[in-house]
């Protein structure tokens, strides 16, 4: 069974731009969570989607948003990029939210 | 509060040495506990998990026991290899249906031949 895939793997943007990251969960998994990883803050939870509904959200500004499609694929969007948004963005999927989460390789975003 | 605290790194060991990485958690309820490993340039891989008190998770020679009385989940390996060099993250879930993990800050392990 294929693992969690994320596209693109690397991205360079400039301040003020917006970006969309994509995550395809493991087949059959309905829950998708997003995390931001930075050297300073470590791993921080962004949000979780289950059956196309956001049911859990971390402490991030409204510039960070996401959605989930009927096939469980998820996207996250960051608008008006700031230098501090440079990070590794990780997506994780699980059968249900409470089950073990399996992570993708991440998208490394650099904001210049 | 809801947090995970793990020992600061970096940890540097010689091959075949014994490894311990301490992890403690605070939680209201009975969360599941996890160790994830991150190799350079990659995402997180699940190493092992335990879902209830006194459970022992094990994988690839690594072990961790869920200790409710000390709220700990220390990672151990009897004989490390160079290929074990990575960053190790302790994590817990919310103990509910909501899918969210709380992570420790990570411990960098370097094993020398």
> Nearest C-alpha of chain B: how many angstroms from A9?
10
**Cross-chain Cβ contact A43/B103 below 8 Å:** yes
> Percentage of residues in chain A with pLDDT exceeding 90?
84
pLDDT tens, A81-96?
Answer: 999 999 999 999 998 7
Integer Cα distance of B59 and A107 in angstroms = 27
CB < 8 Å from B in window 24-43 of A: 31, 33, 35, 42-43
**Cross-chain Cβ contact B99/A58 below 8 Å:** no
Measured CA distances, B11 to A30, A42, B43 (Å) = 37, 18, 20
Q: Residue B82: phi, psi to the nearest 5?
A: -55, -35
Question: Which of residues A23 and A57 earns the better pLDDT score?
Answer: A23
Q: Is the pLDDT of residue A97 over 60?
A: no
Integer Cα distance of B84 and A8 in angstroms = 28
Question: Which of residues B35 and B94 earns the better pLDDT score?
Answer: B35
Residues in A closer than 8 angstroms to B106, CB to CB, are: 42-43
Q: Is the pLDDT of residue A99 over 80?
A: no
In the prediction, which pLDDT does A43 show? 93
Per the listing, tokens 């499609």 go with A69
In the prediction, which pLDDT does B98 show? 65
Residues in B closer than 8 angstroms to A5, CB to CB, are: none
pLDDT tens, B47-95?
Answer: 999 999 999 999 999 999 999 999 999 999 999 999 999 999 999 987 6
Q: Is the pLDDT of residue B27 over 90?
A: no
> Nearest C-alpha of chain B: how many angstroms from A55?
7
Phi-psi region of A80 (alpha: psi -120 to 50; beta: other; left: phi over 0): left
pLDDT tens, B9-24?
Answer: 899 999 999 999 999 9
Rg (CA), chain A: 13
Contact between B13 and B109 (Cβ < 8 Å):
yes
């Amino acid at each position: 069974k294929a693992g969690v895939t994320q596209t693109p793997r690397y991205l360079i943007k400039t301040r003020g731009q917006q970006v969309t990251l994509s995550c395809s969960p493991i087949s059959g998994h309905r829950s998708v969570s997003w995390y931001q990883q930075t050297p300073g803050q470590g791993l921080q939870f962004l949000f979780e989607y289950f059956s196309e509904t956001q049911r859990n959200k971390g402490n991030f500004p409204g510039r960070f948003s996401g959605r989930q499609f009927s096939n469980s694929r998820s996207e996250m969007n960051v608008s008006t990029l700031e230098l501090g948004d440079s990070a590794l963005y990780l997506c994780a999927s699980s059968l249900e939210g409470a089950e073990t989460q399996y992570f993708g390789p991440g998208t490394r975003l650099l904001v210049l | 509060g809801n947090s995970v605290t793990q020992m600061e790194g970096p940890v540097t060991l010689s091959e075949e040495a014994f490894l311990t990485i301490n992890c403690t958690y605070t939680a209201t309820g009975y969360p599941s506990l996890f160790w994830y490993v991150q190799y350079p340039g990659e995402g997180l891989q699940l190493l092992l998990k335990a879902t209830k008190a006194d459970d022992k998770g094990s994988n690839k020679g690594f072990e961790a026991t869920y200790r409710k009385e000390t709220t700990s989940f220390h990672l151990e390996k009897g004989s490390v290899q160079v290929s074990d060099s990575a960053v190790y993250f302790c994590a817990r879930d919310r103990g509910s249906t909501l899918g969210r993990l709380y992570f420790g800050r990570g411990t960098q392990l370097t094993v020398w031949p």
